[in-house]
Amino acid sequence: MATKQNVRDYSALAGTIYEQVGGEGNIQSLTHCMTRLRFVLKDDAAAGTAQLKQTEGVLDVLQAGGQYQVIIGTHVEHVFKALEEVREQRQKQGAAKAEAQTEAGAGASDKKGLSLLLDTISSIFLPIMAGMMGTGILKGLLVLFTTVGWMSAEGGTYAVLYAAADAFFYFLPLILAVTSARRFGANQFIAMAVAGAFLYPNLVALQTAGTAVSFIGIPVKLINYGSSVIPVIVAVYVLSKLEKLLNRLMPQIIKGIVVPLVCIVVMVPASLMVIGPLTGMLGDAVATGYTALYEFMPPVAGLILAVLWPILVIFGGHWGLVPIVMNNFAVYGYDTLLPVTIATNFAWAVPLWPSA
């Protein structure tokens, strides 16, 4: 008889999970991390938590950080894909009803305060974790290889691999535009058009050269938005509100043409002139404040974070630190927050490591 960890009938398991969480009508959003399916449900009480805990293939169920977390194990990605297929099949079966529920799923959440914040952050950053981990590790390997002399930083091999590692972070605003649009219910391609303006080569060249730029006579403060996090998330959030307003006001016959045009014409200048500079100042302030606190007493800061880290992970609170980490990379090019958790992660993992 298969143990929970060895279950490989992903379709059956996905179907069971789908039914026990309440089906499409109760699913607000769904993402996954390394070991867990992370649902945001409209009503947690409607889920069959006791039944799920007894389901073959489910290790445990937790409700924390505004999320309904179904712990699967390292094969969670397979279950997630099977669950997405189940959702797609059920949506086709109930076309009109499922479409309305899907649109509602991108709307406002019943969560409030910290739960809403953590849910929003995890929904935006969880989908990009695979790319972030892969390119981040590659960057570290390139540093190692050039340091020990296995590779020349002047060679073509290094240039190609560094482009592979660095492109993800440089174009992070475009990537976050997609996940933010999904979270806030905005059109993903309009969001990418707005985020693309942040990275447009001509504007980047003007910023690098220090050239003064104005829009209809109003000065535009150009900033280097490569690898930035906060500006694009805020811009897409504002875009989602504008888009929904225009969709309500515009006649159906012209909506498909006028709404994208107005959104881009309004949001690109607004993002470059208002949202970008303001959030850029906020990001700099956060990075400066954190760095000052860390430099004031590094051992104590590291000890406190290392002690709190496992608790934050269990309850999903660690997602609140992700924007700070990414902002540190954008402002300084490095981060000191996550490295102090390495010892904690190893201490946590060693007791779980299978014996030979």
Residue 8 to residue 305: CA distance in whole angstroms? 37
> Which domains does the chain show, CATH number per domain?
4-110 (3.30.1360.60), 297-356 (no CATH)
Angle at which helices 172-184 and 156-170 pack, to 10 degrees? 30
pLDDT of 286 = 66
CB count in 10 Å sphere of residue 241: 12
Residue 277 to residue 54: CA distance in whole angstroms? 51
**What would the pLDDT profile of 103-156 be if each residue is shown by its tens digit?**
444 444 455 566 666 677 777 877 887 788 888 788 888 888 888 888 888 888
- Per the prediction, the chain carries an average pLDDT of 77
* Ranges of residues in the chain whose predicted pLDDT is under 50: 1-7, 95-96, 98-109, 350-356
CA dihedral 215, 240, 116, 16 (to 10 degrees): -150
Q: H helices within the chain, ranges in order?
A: 10-20, 49-53, 76-93, 95-105, 113-125, 129-147, 156-170, 172-184, 188-199, 201-209, 230-249, 252-270, 276-296, 298-314, 322-332, 342-349
pLDDT of 108 = 45
pLDDT of 314 = 52
pLDDT of 113 = 61
Residue 41 to residue 35: CA distance in whole angstroms? 19
pLDDT of 312 = 60
Q: Is 285 helix (H, G, I), strand (E, B) or coil?
A: helix
